[in-house]
Amino acid sequence: MEEKRDQSDYQKELFERLKKSSSLKKAEESFGALIKPAFWWIIDNGNPALEDIEEIMSINATHFNESSPKKTSECLMHLLEAARKSSKLNKLLSFNCDKTLKGFVYPIIQGDKIYGYIGACYSDDSVSEDALKIFPSYIDTIIKEVQKELELSKLYETLRPRAIALSTVHTVHRLISSTLDLGELLPRIARLSLQVMRAQRCSIKLVDSKRKILLPKATVDVRTKTIRLKKVKVGMWAPGKAFKYGRPVRGQDYLATPLIDGDVIGVITLYDKIDNKPFTTFDQEIMSTLGEQAVIAIKNAQLYKEQEKLTMGAIKALVKVLDTRSPGACKTKVSFIKLTQSIGQELRMDMDSLKSLEYASALHDAGEIFVPESVLKKPSKLTGEEYEMVKEHPAAGVAIIKHMKALKSVTPIIMYHHENYDGSGYPKGLKKEQIPMGARILAVVSAFESMITEKTYRATKTMDEAVSEISDKTGTQFDPKVVNAFLKVIRKKDIIAVIHKELYGHK
């Protein structure tokens, strides 16, 4: 059944290309000069009936205006008989309709299959049989040309999805390496899917296995800025069916591809091609390949997120233990972490650097646990020996976390967050770009937080006073770029609200 359909499609496309062939038009013009006036016709049926001939001839009915219906019917019968004989003999045959009209027919054959016929009707009595013998050579060459074009087109259609699939694999691999943030990854995959499929909307849904529902995680629609995020029950609509049965679900204007990693974890659904064409088996094949790669990226991002939760959980547990030994040594205030992160974002730090900055925000003064409380809370000026004890706390903090591999990138931030931009800080006396960016950010936020927090050994400053002091020390204690970012961020309403809530218990 599938083979017959393929043959029918091939025959239809062959004749469509033949009718549009510029070479055939030139041949008709050149050969038509011998037999004019004439009209040409093509029958796209290897075994034609009288109605096929009538349909072709009805288009050229003006040539039969002077003929009676009886004569017209006889002419069509002559043409039909000639066509059948020509296919058996595999050659061009001439025929006479009546005393005024002649014609010839030539079968279109490939291998042992007859696809149809081509011919002309004309009224010139002087055209010889020898002249007509030239026509088959013309047509055979043109048909071979059209067949080669068709074969190349079919080959391209076969290879194209494979080429796109290979390109897609490469592109998704780059996506995997570019981000492990699920919130960034999924919209990127959605946009890539739209680009590859030339569709207008893409929705990525991941399963909530407890509730047996698909939750929308990313939707991109090129037609509108307003995006409607819809939950879908398992088994409902195209996404729900693709999830339930673990196979693609395709319609004229949609294609739902399951994301399978042992179990189905979600579905990518595309809607409405830009050219209004239906989704094809080739589209399905491409999206299956993209889906396989997308699953790897999504699982990596999910595992990374789980690792982040475990790491942050371990940090919070460590902070709690340290805080019982030395209250206030570790600052886990939301405002402190949020301010640090916002400055990092303003300076366009990447996601990994921001995450390291978040961890360092919680642990940067962990080493103070080894500094006597009497020294930390001393209201008067520290002695030289006491100051040396304080200066050792960054290294002590690094010693606490150095065995945690997940915090390897955090140690330089903690070690050098007391370095000054002009080189007057500790423990190494680093300056300017020698100091890691994370440490330069932490230096500003740590100083600001210390100034506005209540201390036993000095008066608490207002936010405006603290901001003014940070500005005054730009270029000496603090990096000017970091201070500029800090000044932009500290005036934001959400940051001010969080700080006020934690300091004073209200917004």
Mean pLDDT calculated for residue range 315-337: 65
Which CATH number is associated with domain 326-504? Answer: 1.10.3210.10
113-122 and 38-43 strand pairing:
antiparallel
Task: Read off the pLDDT of residues 10-41 as tens digits, 9 standing for 90 and up.
Answer: 677 777 888 788 888 887 777 777 776 677 88
Is the CATH number of domain 179-302 3.30.450.40? yes
Give the number of other CB atoms < 10 A from CB of residue 108.
Answer: 24
Report DSSP letters for 365-390, one per residue. TGGGGGS-HHHHT-SSPPPHHHHHHH
Check whether 59 has a pLDDT greater than 70.
no
Match 């995997």 to its residue by tokens: 176
Check whether 334 has a pLDDT greater than 90.
no
Q: What is the 8-class DSSP label of residue 63? A: G
Contacts of 85 (CB under 8 A, 6+ apart): 93
Contacts of 61 (CB under 8 A, 6+ apart): none
Task: Read off the pLDDT of residues 146-201 as tens digits, 9 standing for 90 and up.
Answer: 878 877 777 666 666 666 666 666 666 666 566 778 888 899 899 988 988 889 99
Task: Read off the pLDDT of residues 263-309 as tens digits, 9 standing for 90 and up.
Answer: 899 999 999 999 898 998 888 988 998 888 889 888 888 888 888 88
Q: At what angle do helices 480-489 and 463-472 cross, to 10 degrees?
A: 160
Domain ranges of the chain: 2-153, 179-302, 326-504
Domains 179-302 and 326-504 equal at CATH topology level: no
Check whether 229 has a pLDDT greater than 70.
yes
Look at residues 341, 365, 454, 484 and name the one whose alpha carbon lies nearest to residue 417.
365
Task: Classify domain 2-153 at the CATH topology level.
Answer: Beta-Lactamase (3.30.450)
Look at residues 99, 102, 97, 96 and name the one whose alpha carbon lies nearest to residue 37.
102
Match 């005393």 to its residue by tokens: 99
Report d(CA 110, CA 51) in Å as an integer: 24
Report d(CA 455, CA 404) in Å as an integer: 32
Give pTM, 2 decimals. 0.55
Query: What's the whole-number average pLDDT of the chain?
Result: 81
Choice between 137 and 334, residue whose per-residue pLDDT is larger: 137
Whether the Cβ atoms of residue 458 and residue 450 lie closer than 8 Å to each other: no
Check whether 439 has a pLDDT greater than 70.
yes
Whether the Cβ atoms of residue 297 and residue 460 lie closer than 8 Å to each other: no
pLDDT of residue 98: 66
Report d(CA 322, CA 328) in Å as an integer: 9
- 330: Cα within 13 Å, side-chain hemisphere: 24
pLDDT of residue 260: 93
* CA 300 to each of CA 76, 178, 182, 207, 309: distance values in angstroms, whole numbers, following the listed order: 71, 12, 9, 16, 14
pLDDT of residue 434: 95
Least confident of 44-58, 161-175, 214-228, 478-492: 161-175
Look at residues 472, 502, 506, 477 and name the one whose alpha carbon lies nearest to residue 487.
472
Report d(CA 194, CA 241) in Å as an integer: 21
pLDDT of residue 190: 92
Least confident of 53-57, 333-337, 361-365, 410-414: 53-57
